[in-house]
Amino acid sequence: MHVAFDHLVHLTERPEQVKTAFEQWGFTAIHGGRHPSWGTYNALCYFEHLRYIEWIAIADRQTAKTCGNPLIAQLVADCQEGNGFSQFAFRTDNIEAVAAQLKRNGFTPVGPFPGSRERDDGKRLTWSMLFIEDDTDGTFRYPFFIQWGDDDDVRMNELAPLMRHPAGSISLSSISVYTLDLQRAIHGYRRLFDLPEPDVGRDETGAYAELAVGGIALRLYEADRRHPSTRPFLCKLAGWPSHRHMKVDGGTYIGSKL
């Protein structure tokens, strides 16, 4: 499956405050917009290769609970646990082809679901989102897929100024994710993306398996059973000094050489 990493979703009650924190750390960040049909609004931080972080808040809980979008349903559920990373997405230029491949690999695609918002300059952004029916028994969570209304070259030209940061040339390089069954998660992700065996190791968090997907490293860990979670918990930013470490609204961001 040919996909590129697109964005990491960080659930927070106040995206504008996280945006300000990032600006103080030398990042370029912007207000995004509102999604009236979902009851949410966001702020954004872009990096090389069109990767970005979305800080998203639920402004209208009733709309969010009834809108029917699986991502928003996940955010509503994650609110019970609190702020922090929730989901991540991979970009495609042919979402129907991805849906067909999912079916061939034994998955049940859900969607696509349309999305849109209006930028400050009046341009309406559009996209489609594709999800996977959950067959994990709650042991891990699948990512979702997104196709933008504009081609990558158009978006690259428009977003280039936002990918330049006072802190330096920075890229989102790695995401760490908890699972409740590491071997099952490895099997699920390998089947999803047709991946080879992962690199395995152990660090201060525990045993992990690392997979290369869409231009980033995806590191899967087994969660502590006393604090079960299937959420991402760590984001590495390559090019940000390795001694830098920022924890904000339940999400941890660290600098990395790679």
Contact by Cβ (8 Å): 75, 11: yes
Number of domains the chain contains? 1
Q: Which helix (H) or strand (E) holds 213?
A: strand 206-213
Residue-wise pLDDT tens digits, 85-142: 999 999 999 999 999 999 999 999 999 999 888 877 778 889 999 999 999 999 999 9
pLDDT over 90 at 242, yes or no:
no
Give me the phi and psi of 72, to 5 degrees please: -65, -35
Tokens of 145: 């897929």
What's the CATH code of the domain at 216? Answer: 3.10.180.10
Full residue range of the structural domain in which residue 30 is found: 4-162+169-256
Q: Determine the Cα–Cα distance for residues 6 and 216; give it in Å rounded to an integer.
A: 10
- Going by their DSSP bridges, the two strands 144-148 and 30-35 should be labelled as unpaired
